[in-house]
Amino acid sequence: MGKEPLARALVVDDNADMLRIVTQTLERLGISTTMAQSGDAALALVAQKSFDLISCWTTTCPA
């Protein structure tokens, strides 16, 4: 069985390259990540599960 992640993060960015870079960096640090490419997609994910950290780098992220 694998180790428990240090935290669960939701990474939101409409730029696919940045989404990949941030996600890979967090995963190297032992943080489990879920990706979304829009604010609406992020809201749908937050309604389904909880996250310890949300990183939103898109102009469509709701406040």
Q: What is the pTM of this model?
A: 0.85
Burial code (b: 16+ CB inside 10 Å, e: under 16) for 34-57 equals: bbbbebebbeebbeeeebeebbbe
- The domains of the chain, with CATH numbers, are 7-56 (3.40.50.2300)
User: What digits encode the pLDDT tens for the residues 14-63?
Assistant: 999 999 999 999 999 999 999 999 989 999 999 999 999 999 877 766 65
User: What digits encode the pLDDT tens for the residues 4-23?
Assistant: 889 999 999 999 999 999 99
